[in-house]
Chain A
């Protein structure tokens, strides 16, 4: 899973040492917010955002294959909007011809599709960069240092730990389903997924209770403490944030 299982790992580690993780988190969150708030009709701005992101990707030396795998996360949303675009019959005044085909689709839905695809792609690539460069506890510590609400930080920390555990449980449930319905009809198999999701929720809830007991048993008092030292925030770090903020303002307002 790690993007750092690569010959360029040392370069990335060196970059991670030079850049304060708090700077990266602030810049990435600012980037995601600004581009998400830009109407897709102002598409030249998205070209500029993509250019800025490309510079960051090249500087970080993150593997493109690894980034493309992360982009698969956006697919369900893009597919859902694409299906709506294709299936909804457009009204006469909003119909546009799909380039290269005779298919008429709704213009507003086509714009929505472009918006979802562009914003999801830029957001996921941007959010992936800190994950690629720093160990996860460092990012959690950076979020704490930035005074992100405690509950939110804990949700992120636990999600990182338990997404794999729940994924394994889901996989075992799918295997159990397949073992008992090897030639079941697709509709029937899809319906079973609903009850599996419910079962997974109940198991997750029960696990949360046991994890809570394990935390309390070791003195947990509501504060998540990590032994990850952050260096002093320097003038150069503040300057880096200002440069990125300035670039984003220029791209958004120019």
Chain B
């Protein structure tokens, strides 16, 4: 079954900039899809459609149901991890931030506490619940961001530039963490090593179009395609 189906999706920003120009895409359940492309290609715009934050012209279905038919349900299924943890973590403490989504879903207090404890444990942040997000390192902030999504038992997790700003060790730890997530994953990134490490399929976007799609190994080996769309070939690829 397809976890995500996007059909001929168009989106224009209020200032007239075209974000998406007829994108169509299918992501099977359990897949890990890499989304690459230069800045301004429309990757983030597409991600924001997947749980109904943006509403363009065209179809977006999550497990067969149109996103805007039941936004609350779609937002429980599709979790977004934003590029900058300062955007994702907005509550006074890590605990409050991770509990934010479940409380909005109306879960009872005991279930929320258990889920938050489990989510923090799964990202290696047990005991950090009382800390202010500002006092975490960037790596810890990124892991706390994932916990805010994991806690809602999301079946699809969408990452926007997940490894930006991390040092090499933190980056590889984070890649391992993403690999172990039991969910369908969509990763928008410029980090081609991450794509090669985690993704089974890759789509290339440029100027609001989906310009190429295929197995990760094939796309990353296509030097001409990567150069044409402003992407470097992996150094040891």
Chain A positions near chain B (C-beta within 8 angstroms): 135-137, 140, 157-158, 160-162, 164-165, 207, 210-211, 213-221, 225-227, 229
B104 touches A225 (CB 8 A): yes
Interface of B is mostly: helix
Give the CA-CA distance A32 to B156 in the complex, in Å. 50
B109 touches A227 (CB 8 A): yes
Q: Shortest beta-carbon distance, B10 to chain A, in Å?
A: 20
B92 touches A225 (CB 8 A): no
B76 touches A140 (CB 8 A): no
Total A-B residue pairs with C-beta atoms closer than 8 Å?
Answer: 82
Give the CA-CA distance A162 to B51 in the complex, in Å. 26
Give the CA-CA distance A214 to B104 in the complex, in Å. 13
CB contact under 8 A between A217 and B96, given known A158-B90, A164-B134, A227-B112: no
B96 touches A227 (CB 8 A): yes
Give the CA-CA distance A164 to B112 in the complex, in Å. 28
B92 touches A161 (CB 8 A): yes
* Segment at the interface with A among B17-25, B80-88, B186-194, B198-206: B80-88
A219 touches B96 (CB 8 A): no
Partner of B87, one of A164, A210, A219, A225: A210
Give the CA-CA distance A225 to B101 in the complex, in Å. 9
Residue of B at shortest CB range from A225? B103
> What chain B residues lie within 8 Å of A210 (beta carbons)?
82, 84, 87
CB contact under 8 A between A214 and B80, given known A165-B134, A226-B96, A227-B96: yes
Task: Count residues of chain B with CB under 8 A from any CB of chain A.
Answer: 36
Give the CA-CA distance A150 to B155 in the complex, in Å. 32
Q: Shortest beta-carbon distance, B130 to chain A, in Å?
A: 7
In the complex, 28 of the A-B residue pairs with CB atoms within 8 angstroms, ordered by the A residue number, are: A135-B130, A137-B93, A140-B92, A161-B89, A161-B90, A161-B91, A161-B92, A165-B134, A207-B86, A210-B84, A213-B53, A213-B82, A214-B80, A214-B87, A216-B75, A217-B53, A217-B75, A218-B100, A218-B104, A218-B152, A219-B75, A219-B101, A221-B104, A225-B104, A226-B96, A227-B99, A227-B103, A227-B113
A219 touches B105 (CB 8 A): yes
B75 touches A218 (CB 8 A): yes
Give the CA-CA distance A161 to B133 in the complex, in Å. 8
Give the CA-CA distance A140 to B90 in the complex, in Å. 14
CB contact under 8 A between A214 and B91, given known A226-B96, A227-B109: no
Residue of A at shortest CB range from B105? A219
Q: Shortest beta-carbon distance, B71 to chain A, in Å?
A: 9
> What chain B residues lie within 8 Å of A135 (beta carbons)?
92-93, 130
> What chain B residues lie within 8 Å of A218 (beta carbons)?
75, 79, 100-101, 104, 148-149, 152
> What chain B residues lie within 8 Å of A227 (beta carbons)?
95-96, 99, 103, 109, 112-113
> What chain A residues lie within 8 Å of B134 (beta carbons)?
161, 164-165
A217 touches B51 (CB 8 A): yes
Q: Shortest beta-carbon distance, A217 to chain B, in Å?
A: 4
Highest count of chain A CB atoms <10 Å: which of B104, B130, B152: B104
Decide yes or no whether B164 CB sits under 8 A from chain A: no
Decide yes or no whether B132 CB sits under 8 A from chain A: yes
Give the CA-CA distance A213 to B53 in the complex, in Å. 7
CB contact under 8 A between A137 and B92, given known A165-B134, A218-B104, A225-B100: yes
Q: Shortest beta-carbon distance, B204 to chain A, in Å?
A: 25
Decide yes or no whether B48 CB sits under 8 A from chain A: yes
Decide yes or no whether B8 CB sits under 8 A from chain A: no
Contact with A along B130-156 (1 / 0, CB 8 A): 101110000000000000110010000
> What chain B residues lie within 8 Å of A137 (beta carbons)?
91-93, 96
Decide yes or no whether B2 CB sits under 8 A from chain A: no
Decide yes or no whether B223 CB sits under 8 A from chain A: no
B92 touches A220 (CB 8 A): no
Give the CA-CA distance A227 to B106 in the complex, in Å. 12
Give the CA-CA distance A85 to B100 in the complex, in Å. 50
Highest count of chain B CB atoms <10 Å: which of A162, A219, A225, A229: A219
